[in-house]
Chains A and B, each alone.
Chain A
Amino acid sequence: MMPPEGLPVPGPVEHAPELADTEASLLARAQAGDVGAFERLSGAYADRVFMLLLRLLGDRSEAEDVAQEVMLRAWQGITRFRGQSSYFTWLYRIAVNEANRALERRSRRPTRVAIGVDELQLPAPAALDPSRQAENSELRRALSRALAELPPPLRTALVLRDVEGLSTQEAAEIAGISQAAFKSRLHQARLRVRVAIGDQALVTAGG
């Protein structure tokens, strides 16, 4: 889904003044019950929300279902948004909460399907020679598997900070925990992934 016309592609941390103005206007209209304004406001972040859900859930159809639920929850709660965080942070927090609820539901089911790196169609770096590309592809498969094996709180920390590239402050806010607690989860997550993949494989792939 493309960003709504007139809205630039948003970034997680820095927001241009024009976008902030536009957001404020759309937010006011959405809070007054204008569903079109809500769709424009939230649609600017829809792709990122969906990608986050894909990373946290590892299953495309489940991510699509949860993405709808995230937007419904946001719409239902829009009048409670007071602007104490950015709208992006607020929406992402809803997405993380809904992903965690979905993972809880899934844990009560017998099977799960993890999305593979090939299914996500990650682009391979073009500059590498074939053998390095193969190593790189292998590493990304291993990373995806290791990520999927992490307990949800650790996976959330790694995805928000390292995959999404959010600041620690914003990622902690989205996760709903202190920065110290967030850092602790992040370091635990990295240690587990490092053990799962192995130092030699990482060093070799890192060149």
Chain B
Amino acid sequence: MGIPGRTDDHQWSQRHLSHYVEGDLRPRARRRLDRHARGCVDCGRGIRAMRALVYAVQGLGGLAGMRAPETIFDRVRSGGPGGEPASSRA
């Protein structure tokens, strides 16, 4: 197997940007991506984009004021189809 070239490094780096920002790469793999990204505009931007993506998605979690409907236990209360704990039916 030959030494990976720039194209190999680029494709590999693009596939592992999420692993990189998650801290899931082993030290050697992390160094490989770091080394490549220093000379690659696309991958440098890709790292920033992936970090921004994770940050933005985390921001979707703030559904302030969103409440479960009052009806959430209606089927439990009505006894629904088989609406009792299993041991009670046995």
* A interface residues with partner B (beta carbon < 8 Å): 1-2, 30-31, 33, 35, 38-39, 42-43, 46-47, 49-51, 54-55, 64, 67-69, 71-72, 75-80, 120-123, 139-140, 143-144, 147, 158, 162-165, 183, 186-187, 190-191, 193-194, 197-200, 202-203, 205-206
Contact = CB atoms under 8 A, between A and B. Distances in A.
A43 B64 CA distance: 18
A187 to B, nearest CB: 4
Q: Report which residue of B15, B16, B68, B74 has the largest number of chain A beta carbons within 10 angstroms of its beta carbon.
A: B68
Interface stretch (B2-10, B26-34, B55-63): B55-63
A165 B19 contact: no
28 contacts: A1-B69, A1-B70, A30-B85, A39-B73, A42-B73, A43-B73, A47-B66, A50-B69, A51-B66, A64-B71, A68-B74, A75-B85, A76-B82, A121-B65, A123-B64, A140-B56, A144-B60, A147-B60, A162-B58, A163-B57, A164-B61, A190-B54, A191-B17, A194-B46, A197-B53, A202-B49, A203-B49, A206-B48
B87 to A, nearest CB: 4
Nearest to A80: B86
B39 interface: no
A39 B75 CA distance: 12
Interface residues of B, number: 48
A1 B67 contact: yes
Interface of B: 15-19, 22, 24, 42, 45-46, 48-77, 80, 82-88
A35 B61 CA distance: 31
Contact of A190 (B18, B70, B72): B18
Contacts of B22: 183, 186-187
A164 B57 CA distance: 9
| Top 4 closest pairs, chain A to chain B, by CB | A206-B52, A50-B68, A46-B68, A199-B49
B60 A143 contact: yes
Contact of B76 (A2, A35, A162): A35
B81 to A, nearest CB: 8
Nearest to A162: B57
Q: Report which residue of B52, B55, B71, B84 has the largest number of chain A beta carbons within 10 angstroms of its beta carbon.
A: B52
Given A68-B75, A140-B60, A203-B45, A47 B68 contact: yes
B83 A76 contact: yes
Contacts of B76: 35, 38-39, 71-72, 75
